[in-house]
Amino acid sequence: MLHSIFRVWKRYYDVFRKNLVYGVVTTFVEPLLYLFAFGYGLGSLIPTLDYMGVTLEYRAFIFAGIVGQTALFIAFFEGAYGGFIRMYYQRVFQAIAVTPVTLTEVLWAEILWDATRATFGIFAVLLIGSIVGDFSISGAIAYLPIAFLSSMLFASLGVFVASKAKTIEEIGYPQYLFIFPMFLFCGVFFPIERLPETVGFVVKLLPLTGVAVTARSFLLKTPVDWLSVSASIVWLVVFVPLSISSMKKRLVK
């Protein structure tokens, strides 16, 4: 099982390596742009802020938030758009799933690859955050496995969306109605304590909030909000198997 999954994962990795420049640009540039625009741009206007009772430099706060945003964007878009293309246009899943590799294994590899790619992007953010001294280096290293799990969560959301979309345009609905609002309201740019209480409660249940909270707790040694972290764990545990079974349902008649 693991062996077969690895072979398919390797296929994705080979595509990435083959188009390395494209891969690097699409993986690293976006998080770095956010880092500089918000970290240095906004960071120079807002020196510090209160986050869960801790005073943080805004730049450090934002850098750690961008870790979560990077997991969200790279993993979700690769899973949703990339997954849709591989399922619908290229029929890569169908082609591989008639070899000794099963469809379940192919889909695991899809999620693991999407998460791998997002983790590459996160690695760049961690590296810069550590170099400029905002992140705890030991925290950044310890965070890597969590970065991968966080990315798996968003990859599975992406694959789930791909499995439900009738056309590639339909991916726009969850993108604009779910992913972008999370990006704006789940604590990447400002502490969610600033939100009205009921909104804040709902936001805590969205998957990105717990991911951002976890990133900050590792990288900035801030307290953990267990409600949002538990919610993210539930999203992960539910959506990895759900996305696989939903994609199987779409393909297997």
Partner 1 sequence: MEKALNVRHLVKEYKMPKGPAFRAVNDISFEINQGECFGLLGPNGAGKSTTMHCVTGFYPANSGSIEIMGRDVSQDPKSARQQLGVCHQEETLDNDFSLIQQLESYAGYFGFAKEKALSRGWELLERFELKDRAHQLSEHLSGGMRRKFQVLRAMLTEPKLVILDEPSTGLDPEARRTLWNEINLFKSNGGAILLSTHYMDEAQRLCDRVAIISKGKIMDCRSPQELIAHYIGLDPIEEEIRPGYKLTRPPNLEDVYLKVTGQRLGGSV
User: How near is the Cβ of 181 to partner 1 at its closest, in Å?
Assistant: 32
Stretch that binds partner 1, among 89-97, 163-171, 192-200, 208-216 (CB under 8 A): 89-97
Q: Is residue 14 close enough to count as binding partner 1 by CB under 8 A?
A: yes
Q: Residue from 26, 102, 175, 245 that binds partner 1 (CB under 8 A)? A: 102
Q: Is residue 4 close enough to count as binding partner 1 by CB under 8 A?
A: yes
Q: Cβ(155)–Cβ(76) under 8 Å?
A: yes
- Which residues in 192-251 contact partner 1 (CB under 8 A)? 251
Closer of 34 and 108 to partner 1 (Cβ) = 108
Q: Is residue 8 close enough to count as binding partner 1 by CB under 8 A?
A: yes
Q: Is residue 90 close enough to count as binding partner 1 by CB under 8 A?
A: yes
Decide the pairing of beta strands 48-51 and 54-57: antiparallel
User: How near is the Cβ of 249 to partner 1 at its closest, in Å?
Assistant: 10
Chain centroid to CA 31: 12
Query: How far apart, in whole angstroms, are the C-alpha atoms of residue 147 and residue 128?
Result: 15
With CB under 8 A as the rule, give the number of residues binding partner 1: 25
Cα atoms found within 13 Å of the Cα of residue 40, Cβ hemisphere only: 9
Q: Is residue 18 close enough to count as binding partner 1 by CB under 8 A?
A: yes
Q: Is residue 166 close enough to count as binding partner 1 by CB under 8 A?
A: no
Q: Distances in Å between the alpha carbon of 207 and those of 9, 115, 219, 245? A: 25, 15, 19, 20
Secondary structure class of 83 (helix, strand, coil): helix
Q: Residue from 20, 53, 55, 100 that binds partner 1 (CB under 8 A)? A: 100
Residue 249 buriedness (CB in 10 A; 0-12 / 13-18 / 19+): exposed
Q: Cβ(162)–Cβ(247) under 8 Å?
A: yes
Binding site for partner 1 (CB under 8 A): 3-4, 7-8, 10-11, 14-15, 18, 90-92, 94-103, 251-253
